[in-house]
Structure 1
């Protein structure tokens, strides 16, 4: 039960409802109360008991909750139903339509002071922003969600989706180091504090893999992938089960069985969250594909990377899928399928720019440069390398910068430009890091698996 409004507000509400219905104070009061009591209550000079409010609600033809709080009957349940609907829409890839649903819930929740529903709607708007590539807006929504949860003293596991959303928006915007800081510090706080919430940990471990890889911290990325897969929930087809729970909730709501409807909606919401986690687990398959590729097991690498792409809807998570697509293109190239690899890379570049997906664009240009070199087209190769270098310098991806400078230096040396080649090598040395490490601090504490 939500906390009721103050006596003055309730008194005004009772008076307005009574006048709207053309009732006298005596008609509202009898038989349990006196007109004088109703007059005192309407003036806000007495705090009505639950029994008095129930009597008045019956006489005025409204629900107890609406009279006590000003919220329409079943509002919270209706908002939860709308939230699960928007989450379902987002899971199918229709991010813009989902955002409209989340925005509608947010407006109603703000109007009635429902902080929990506000936070859920803001999280949904943030996820929608990530899917559409509007990273600045997404970051603001996640920050607002975290602030809303902090106002009601929500525990850390409950705040993890908002923190993770902030980190992902920074990461996709090219701010790798800050993204890793947010994710690692939260993991450390959870594990050291004994808050071993599987969903929260899985979300964080799966999300930190990409930034680790782009910073050259391969050992940490591999460890995060294994921990995420160990935590992964085992579900059948969560979309079908969630749809069933929403249908059941509607039936229960129509029958006035509010508590049961809320429970069914809670199950549906959890399944939609698991759907989003399943999308995150594509990163783990990508990581396995990367490991296989490093070990020369290219056929197995291709299978894992194709599985990762299959887990990402064609319409959903384009910024994520581009990263997997570039890795798959590398494997295809190494397997002698350079034309297919180049086609995949050009698809990636058609969707992204320096401001949106910079790291993935750089990786695509780097690989296109290698393919151009193999095709004996040094001019095209140099153009791709220079574009990639510019993108990586902005993002501060040290590990990739060192490798790219080596590639560019080798190309310049082979074409007779020795001084330019030396400059490229010197630049690369300035960004060199030991394999599997970065200048990050100690790794976060691990869960007791």
Structure 2
């Protein structure tokens, strides 16, 4: 914030308002300033302090923002109200409708030179593009928002940084996504900037990349941190609606500062509502841990909970990723037909550009199911597709495992030389997960 016009423009505005109100320079100046100071200010030869502008605004009967920028405070407050309306639309799962609202608000914020509001609209457009799977567009919105917020403290820039990392992750660029998230977490924790919402957003977002890179211990730790930081709000949507209604009334009555306070509460509650959707990742992580411990029934329940949370918000890409994990558990519990149906249903939402690792996991599992049904041709086709997806994403641990599966299949069908090639490729990708691809873990938050 802190935006204001140049001294010359402010001086002319003060002179015009003073003349319109029939005040002399002495009447405007008293009791705090001198007529000479007002004369110098109106001539544009001095940059007034915030204290001086507040004094002049009160004497002239206008808001501080209107005097400093020429924009009536009510215009900015009304724009912020409509931004919370767009947040509500997105939080309830209507991404395309929300995108149209954000685009209109961005144009208006830029016309009024409202930098913070324009950045908020860009973040909203980025979130909408993530929901609809338009990852390159999302990355562009987040990068522009980050540039607009360049002079803000790090916690204020976290949503843009996290959005950028998420767009890289969903496109299959795992290492870079982890780098962005870990360096931001480290800077927050080591710098003492322990903003709970910023930390929660980052920890919830880093779980998926950790899992796909085989860094399971870090994923489990991030999930525990996220759950410990999660805000306890009984019904954020209901409270946010109340604050929006209050803000509308206050704006109508000209009580702009009070309206802004209500709007800030509404915006925070809608953000928490979005974060609750993020926490589906934590249920997914718990499900994974249960499965690793042999608790398949409990793991299935956790993954179904995660899938239900994401499906309710119509988050197609995230839903598809969790569905792949759930299908794996279903297959291990002897429900292979249900698993195959689930996988075939989500493959249309996944590709080399959107969720490459989970698209590969879907093909891998369909290959295993096909092998169980003695359909070796279909199994090989799925394995080969999975291999090409994983090579692009650089998921080394998964590549090694897939090469073993493909090698075993080729050996059983009598193609020994091809099987040896597959095994050699797998050995080339074999790494210790989380040690060769990741650096030291970021500093921990003070919980």
The two structures have a TM-score, normalised by structure 1, of 0.89
Partner residue, 1:329: 327
Following the alignment from structure 1 to structure 2, what is the Cα–Cα distance between the partners of residues 26 and 243?
Answer: 43
Query: Contact between 2:277 and 2:313, CA under 8 Å: does it hold in 1?
Result: no
Partner residue, 2:96: 96
1:233 to 231, 234, 239: 231
The yes-or-no answer on 1:349 pairing with 2:335 is: no
Q: Which secondary structure does the structure 2 equivalent of 1:339 belong to?
A: helix
Following the alignment from structure 2 to structure 1, what is the Cα–Cα distance between the partners of residues 191 and 440?
Answer: 17
Q: Which secondary structure does the structure 2 equivalent of 1:416 belong to?
A: coil
Q: Summarize the alignment of residues 36-115 of structure 1 with structure 2, pairs less than 5 Å apart.
A: 50=53, 65-115=65-115
Pairwise CA distance, 1:304: 0.2
Higher mean displacement: 162-171 or 142-151: 142-151
Following the alignment from structure 1 to structure 2, what is the Cα–Cα distance between the partners of residues 367 and 86?
Answer: 39
Q: Which secondary structure does the structure 1 equivalent of 2:149 belong to?
A: helix
Deviations 1:71-130 (A, max 9, x none): 134122112111111111111111121122222222222223322212211111111111
Pairwise CA distance, 1:174: 1.0
Q: Summarize the alignment of residues 7-406 of structure 1 with structure 2, pairs less than 5 Å apart.
A: 7-10=7-10, 28-29=21-22, 50=53, 65-151=65-151, 154-314=152-312, 316-406=314-404
- Note closer, same or farther for the CA distance 1:312–1:33 as it changes in structure 2 (3 Å cut): same
Query: Contact between 1:192 and 1:445, CA under 8 Å: does it hold in 2?
Result: yes
Pairwise CA distance, 1:9: 2.4
Query: Contact between 2:400 and 2:429, CA under 8 Å: does it hold in 1?
Result: yes
- Note closer, same or farther for the CA distance 1:52–1:217 as it changes in structure 2 (3 Å cut): closer
Size of the aligned set, in residue pairs, is 435
Query: Contact between 2:178 and 2:210, CA under 8 Å: does it hold in 1?
Result: yes
Partner residue, 1:22: none
Q: What CA RMSD, in Å, does the superposition of the two structures yield over aligned residues?
A: 2.6
Higher mean displacement: 315-324 or 245-254: 315-324
Partner residue, 1:5: 5
Pairwise CA distance, 1:194: 1.9
- Structure 2 alignment gaps of length 5 or more: 28-35
The two structures have a TM-score, normalised by structure 2, of 0.90
Partner residue, 2:442: 444
Pairwise CA distance, 1:280: 1.1
Q: Which secondary structure does the structure 2 equivalent of 1:204 belong to?
A: helix
- Note closer, same or farther for the CA distance 1:226–1:67 as it changes in structure 2 (3 Å cut): closer
Following the alignment from structure 1 to structure 2, what is the Cα–Cα distance between the partners of residues 149 and 32?
Answer: 38
Q: Which secondary structure does the structure 2 equivalent of 1:340 belong to?
A: helix
